[in-house]
Amino acid sequence: MKDRQFNLGLMETRYKIIVKGVKFFYGRNQVLNDIHANFAEHAITAITGPSGQGKSTLLGLFNCMWDEIPGARCSGEIQIRLGDKWVSPLKKDIPMPLLRRKVALVFQEPNPLPMSIARNMAFPLMLAGVRDKSLVREKVQRALRQAFLWEEVKNHLEKSAVELSGGQKQRLCIARALVLEPEVLLCDEPTSSLDTKAAGIIEDLLVSLRSQCTLLVVSHYMEQVRRVADEVMTLQDQTLRRT
Amino acid sequence: MIRHWTEKMVLIFSWAATVLLCLSVSVFLGYLLLRGFSSLSLELIFGQSDPLMALLGRVRVFEGILPAIAGTICLVGLSAGFALPVGVCAGIYLAEYAGTSMKKLLGLLFDILAGIPSIVIGLFGFSLAVFLHRHFHGRVGPCLLISALSLAVLVLPYIVRSTQRSLEELPAGIRKTAIALGAGKLQNIVYVLVPNALSGISSGIILAIGRCAEDTAVILLTGVVATAGIPSSLLSQYEALPFYIYYISNQYSSRAELTQGYGACLILLAICAVLFMLAYGMTRHLSYRTLYRA
C-alpha cells in the first residue's frame, strides 16, 4: 500500500471527487459536519470509522441516493469529474439517472433484484436505453468476467439471481454496476455479510477494477483496508480525516 | 406452566378454527354437488336447442342457462376491464406518489366506498339509467353497460387497496436498487415495483372478479332481466347467473326447477374458478415475462 501511495505522490494527483464543507442532516440530527476531502482518480480510497458515524450516508451523497430519504438535508459542495466535465450533484446540474449510471453504488447487503441473472445484468442497460441485443450480451458477458462470475453462471443465466450464494450475489451486484462502465464505484461494506473466502474474491475484484474506475470503499475491517486501499480516511465525530 | 398451557390452548384454538373453515367449505361444496350434480347436463345449459346452433347464435335458447352464462361472462369481463386500469393506477398513485395527507384522505374515501352496500351502488346505477333514459329519449335505459360500470365502482376499492398494499410492502432493498442503477421513478414502478407486486395485485383482481360474478343487488336494479337472450350490445338488457339463481329459488314450481338452480350454482362456481385461474395464470405469465425471460 505504501508503494502505491508513494507512486501517487510522485505523479501530479488527478482528483476525481472534491468535497468542500459538506454538512448532512437527518431531520434535526446532524450526521456530517464540514467534510472536506479530495479523492484521487483510479485509486481505492477506504473510508473507515466506528459504526453509526455516517460512512454509508457519506457514500450516498456522491450519487445522490440521500435524495430518496424523506427529511434529509445536505449543504456544501461536491464536485465529480465525469469525462472532462465537472458536475455538482448537490446542485443537481446533472440528471440523477445519468449521475447514478456514472457513479454506481454497491450496497452492503447483496441485493440482486428478484429476476433471472441475465435480467439483473441487462437491467441497467435497458434503463439506459440500450436496445441492441448483441451489444447487451457482449457488455453483460464482459462485466460478469470482470467480476469473476462468468464461469460459474454462464450455463444458467435464466436461474433466479436470488438463488445464488452470498458471495456470488455480491459479485453479481458488482458486475451489474460495472455493466454501465461507471467512472466511480462506491462500495458500502461489500464483504460484511460474506465468509473469508468470498470476501477474498471480492477484495481481488476491487483491486482489479482500479485501472478502470475510481473506487470508494466503506469498510470496518482494518486488515482488508490495508490490503486493498491506496488511501485511508477515517470518519469520526462527524468529520473525515486522512489516516 | 400457565404460559405452556396458554400456548397449547392458542394452538388448539387455531387448529380448530382452520378445521372448522375447511369443514364449512367442504360441507358447502358437498351440499351443492349433492343437490345440483344430477341437473348438470347439456339440457340445463342449452334447453331443447341444438348446442352447436345455440353457440353459433343461430337459434335462441329459451329454457337453458346459456344466456345467463354469457351475460355473466360479459358482465365480469366488462366490469374488470373498467375497474382494473383505474384501480391499479389509483393504487400506484397512492403507494408511490401521494403525500401523507393525500394518502390518508384518499385512503379514507376508498374505505368508505368499500363499505357502501351494493344495493346503494345499484340504486346509483339505476338513477344514472333513468337520467340517460330521459336524456336520450328512451334509447338508453338499464343495460349491460350501466351494470358493468356500477359493478366496477363496487370492486374498485379492492383493486386500489390491494395494489397499494402490495407495492408498499415491497422491501426497501428492491425499491432502492433500481434507483441506484439509474432508474427514474416511473421506470422503477414499471420495471421493478409492479412486476414484483403482481402476486399481491392479482389477489385483489381475483377478489374483484368473484364479487362481479356473484353480486345480485347491483344488477337487479341496473339491467338484468329473466329472459333477454345472449346480450347483443352494451346497451341491451341481459341475463346473469346470480339473478337466475335468485329468481328460480324464489319462483320454482317443481323440485326439478330447484335442482336446476343448484346446478346453476355449480356452473357459477366453475366459471369463477376458471376466471380465477385465468387471472392467476395471466399475472404469473406477465411476471415471468417481465422478470425472468431472456
Model confidence at B58, pLDDT cuts 50, 70, 90, reads: confident
Q: Which amino acid appears at position A39 of this protein? A: F
- Domain positions in chain A are 2-238
Rounded Cα–Cα distance for residues B208 and B212 (Å): 6
Q: What percent of chain A has pLDDT over 90?
A: 56
Give how far Cα B26 sits from Cα of B31, B33, B122, Å.
8, 10, 32
Model confidence at A8, pLDDT cuts 50, 70, 90, reads: very low
Measured between CB atoms, does A100 come within 8 Å of chain B?
A: yes
Say which DSSP state B216 is in. -
**Residue A219 CA to chain centroid, in angstroms?**
12
Least confident span in A5-14, A26-35, B60-69, B110-119: A5-14
**Rg from Cα positions in chain A:** 18
Is the Cβ pair B187, A127 closer than 8 Å?
yes
Q: What secondary structure, in 3-state letters, does chain A show? A: CHHHHHHHHHCCCCEEEEEEEEEEEECCEEEEEEEEEEEECCCEEEEECCCCCCHHHHHHHHCCHHHHCCCEEEEEEEEEEECCEEECHHHCCCCHHHHHHHEEEECCCCCCCCCEHHHHHHHHHHHCCCCCHHHHHHHHHHHHHHCCCHHHHCCCCCCEHHHCCHHHHHHHHHHHHHCCCCCEEEEECCCCCCCHHHHHHHHHHHHHHCCCCEEEEECCCHHHHHHHCCEEEEEECCEEEEC
B289 to chain A, minimum CA–CA distance in Å? 10
Locus of grid cell 479523492: A39
B261 CB-near residues (< 8 Å, 6+ apart): B36, B244, B245, B248, B249, B252
Give how far Cα A123 sits from Cα of A103, A170, B264, Å.
16, 16, 49
Q: Which of B174, B177, B182 shows the shortest C-beta gap to A180?
A: B182
Q: What is the CATH number that goes with domain A2-238?
A: 3.40.50.300
Give the predicted TM-score (pTM) of the model: 0.82
Rounded Cα–Cα distance for residues A217 and A59 (Å): 9
Predicted confidence at residue A75, as pLDDT, reads 92
Substitution target in B177, B181, B289 with the highest count of A β-carbons within 10 Å is B181
User: What are A214's strand-pairing partners?
Assistant: A184
Cell of A141: 458477458
The pairing of beta strand A184-188 with beta strand A103-106:
parallel
Residue B211, CB-side half-sphere exposure with 13 Å CA sphere: 25
Cβ(A103)–Cβ(A95) under 8 Å? no
Question: Once rounded to an integer, what is the mean pLDDT over residues B164-168?
Answer: 94
Residues A159-181 pLDDT 10s: 999 999 988 999 999 999 999 99
Cell of B124: 346509483
Question: Once rounded to an integer, what is the mean pLDDT over residues B189-203?
Answer: 89
Cβ(A125)–Cβ(B178) under 8 Å? no
Check pLDDT > 80 for residue A193. no
Torsion of CA A46, A52, A56, A62, to 10 degrees: -90
Cell of B247: 329468481
Phi and psi at residue A23, in whole multiples of 5°?
Answer: -120, 145
Predicted confidence at residue B66, as pLDDT, reads 93
Model confidence at A10, pLDDT cuts 50, 70, 90, reads: very low
Give how far Cα B151 sits from Cα of B158, B160, B214, Å.
12, 14, 10
Averaged confidence pLDDT in chain A? 88
Is the Cβ pair A124, B182 closer than 8 Å?
yes
Least confident span in A26-35, B56-65, B160-169: B56-65
**Residue A12 CA to chain centroid, in angstroms?**
24
Rounded Cα–Cα distance for residues B131 and B138 (Å): 10
- Domain positions in chain B are 1-39, 42-291
Rounded Cα–Cα distance for residues B89 and B112 (Å): 19
Cβ(B49)–Cβ(B62) under 8 Å? yes
Question: Once rounded to an integer, what is the mean pLDDT over residues B271-278?
Answer: 90
Cβ(A5)–Cβ(A70) under 8 Å? no
Residues B81-137 pLDDT 10s: 999 999 999 999 999 999 999 999 999 999 999 999 999 999 999 999 999 998 887
Cell of B89: 393506477
Substitution target in A94, A99, A102, A115 with the highest count of B β-carbons within 10 Å is A115
- What is the sign of the dihedral through the CA atoms of B240, B241, B245 and B246? negative
Contacts of A103 in chain B (CB under 8 A): none
B234 CB-near residues (< 8 Å, 6+ apart): B78, B143, B144, B145, B148
Rounded Cα–Cα distance for residues A140 and A176 (Å): 8
B42-291: which CATH architecture? Orthogonal Bundle (1.10)
Contacts of A123 in chain B (CB under 8 A): 178, 181, 191
A150 to chain B, minimum CA–CA distance in Å? 16
Predicted confidence at residue B292, as pLDDT, reads 66
Rounded Cα–Cα distance for residues A65 and A75 (Å): 15
Is the Cβ pair A104, B173 closer than 8 Å?
no
Predicted confidence at residue B199, as pLDDT, reads 85
Q: What percent of chain A has pLDDT over 70?
A: 95
Is the Cβ pair B177, A160 closer than 8 Å?
no
Residues A89-131 pLDDT 10s: 998 899 999 999 999 999 988 889 888 999 999 999 999 999 8
User: What are B19's strand-pairing partners?
Assistant: none
Is the Cβ pair B291, A114 closer than 8 Å?
yes
Averaged confidence pLDDT in chain B? 91
In chain B, which ranges are continuous DSSP H helix? 2-36, 42-46, 51-55, 66-92, 100-115, 118-135, 144-168, 172-180, 185-187, 194-214, 217-222, 241-251, 255-291
